[in-house]
Amino acid sequence: MLDINLIRHDPDGVKAQLAKRMATVPDFTAVLATDAERRALIQKNEARRQKRNENSAMIAKLKKDGKDASKQIAEMKAIGDKIARGDRAIATAEQKIFNALAPLPNLPLPEVVAGGKENNHVVATFGKKPTYNFTPQDHVALATSLGLIDYERGAKISGAKAWVYTGVGALLEWALLNYFIDFHIANGYKFILPPHLLNWESGYAAGQFPKFVDDVFMTNFDQDPKKSKFLLPTAETALLNLHRDEIIPADHLPLKYFSYSPCYRKEAGSYRTDERGMIRGYQFNKIEMFIYCPAADSPKFFDELLRNAQKLVEGLGLHFQTVALAAGDCSASMAKTYDVEVYIPSMKGYKEVSSVSTATDYQARRANIRTKDADGKTVWLHTLNGSGLATSRLIPAILEQNQNADGSVNVPAALHKYLHGITVIKRK
């Protein structure tokens, strides 16, 4: 949610920033008129309330003294009606303002380039594309022949976009998660295991609702979506809502969390033929990092989250690139996003394994999360998040980048301690 005060004081500045990510910039004339109207209505109604409070005190006194208060009571009746009408007008104005502001995305940071996906640019690269002196296999063939993933039975028991990790495949998946968990623990992040079913308020605060309500799996325990629960599409939703409606004491900051959860997404219409196997599914595992901090610190923590994500992929020895997203490619709540993309040879391209973002105060406003500054004033916090990491594109990358001529796959050294002595995955 954008700050109405900012729009009031610098509408053109806000428009200029939004133009970096929106094709058509909103016109604020109407919302500012409603805002002025709202404030005038508030002032009128508060004067009426003051009168009512005074009258009420007088009636109490008159009654106490045994005197007649019928004149004051009659006056109170008239005032009460006016206040009720005024309240309705204020509520209408506020609803209008909310409806105008709620769909607007966050303001991109100055360093974020304008435009859509085509303006994304690579800012760093690690490692090199692997070369083979044999014909390499794709990850679906490798995972199947090595008995790591059972796609057919996944489809049988669940349907399309589902798979089953089996045996060493499950162990490899779990090893990755443990490798991430140990890393974050060593960095002093607090481990959170959240519920996977979240309520409407959580979805709204995170910016998923109402716009993206069709992208999540909504349970139908109740026909009213606002009373139903949904499966979290990312642990970010849970981690942001942990402190919804709270004022966090300044000496508790920053709060650094990480969380493991499966992520459940409908991915409606996003299937592409090149996205075979486990590139895109209804459910995938992810460790999410999340930081709450004072506004001044958020650039520093953005860098920290990005470095963490990069270090994790570096530790696996995989070739990857880091991409700065253009304003229009960042999700609506985010002011700046960098993606970490691992190389998948069979796709001749890079796939996202981490997305690191700062929401500045946009999410905090929606979720009402504040702290006190040095002067004791209540101020909005900044929230940042980053995957650390998602596994479902890493396994294809590991299988393909580390494959040998005989169809076996070398396990990255960082995972050896979690794999019960397996250093090379071979066919049975």
Spell out, one character per residue from 229 to 268, where the chain touches RNA: x when CB under 7 A holds, - when not.
------------------x---------------------
Q: Which is nearer to RNA, 40 or 157 (CB)?
A: 40
Phi and psi, residue 257, nearest 5°: -120, 155
Q: Which of residues 359-378 bind RNA (CB under 7 A)?
A: 370, 372, 378
Alpha-carbon span 204 to 303, nearest angstrom: 27
Among the listed ranges 74-82, 188-196, 202-210, 302-310, the one in contact with RNA (CB under 7 A) is 74-82
Cβ 42 to RNA shortest distance, Å: 5
Cβ 230 to RNA shortest distance, Å: 15
Q: Which is nearer to RNA, 205 or 318 (CB)?
A: 205
Q: Which of residues 16-45 bind RNA (CB under 7 A)?
A: 39, 42-43, 45
> Judged by CB under 7 A, which of 9, 10, 27, 46 binds RNA?
46
Among the listed ranges 46-54, 145-153, 180-188, 232-240, the one in contact with RNA (CB under 7 A) is 46-54
Q: Which is nearer to RNA, 73 or 177 (CB)?
A: 73
Phi and psi, residue 209, nearest 5°: -110, 155
Residues 6+ apart with CB under 8 A from 193: 259, 260, 261
User: Is residue 99 exposed (0-12), middle (13-18) or buried (19+ Cβ within 10 Å)?
Assistant: exposed
Task: Identify the CA nearest to 292 among candidates 383, 417, 386.
Answer: 383
> Judged by CB under 7 A, which of 9, 30, 53, 424 binds RNA?
53
> Judged by CB under 7 A, which of 56, 166, 404, 408 binds RNA?
56
Kindly state whether residue 219 participates in binding RNA, applying the rule CB under 7 A.
no
> Judged by CB under 7 A, which of 6, 30, 33, 57 binds RNA?
57
Q: Which is nearer to RNA, 60 or 124 (CB)?
A: 60
Q: Which is nearer to RNA, 63 or 190 (CB)?
A: 63
Q: Are 198 and 232 in contact (CB under 8 A)?
A: yes
Q: Are 356 and 366 in contact (CB under 8 A)?
A: no
- Residue given tokens 């009606």 in the structure block: 81
Q: Which is nearer to RNA, 59 or 140 (CB)?
A: 59
Binding residues for RNA, rule CB under 7 A, total 26
Alpha-carbon span 263 to 234, nearest angstrom: 5
Alpha-carbon span 300 to 390, nearest angstrom: 23
Among the listed ranges 71-79, 103-111, 229-237, 396-404, the one in contact with RNA (CB under 7 A) is 71-79
Tokens of 411: 């396990």
Helices (H), 187-271: 200-205, 235-241
Phi and psi, residue 409, nearest 5°: -135, 130
CA angle 131, 132, 133 (to 5 degrees): 135
Alpha-carbon span 143 to 159, nearest angstrom: 19
Q: Which of residues 90-119 bind RNA (CB under 7 A)?
A: none
> Judged by CB under 7 A, which of 6, 16, 30, 60 binds RNA?
60
Tokens of 351: 């796939």
Tokens of 132: 């083979």
Q: Which residues bind RNA (CB under 7 A)?
A: 39, 42-43, 45-47, 49-50, 52-54, 56-57, 59-61, 63, 73, 76-77, 79-80, 247, 370, 372, 378
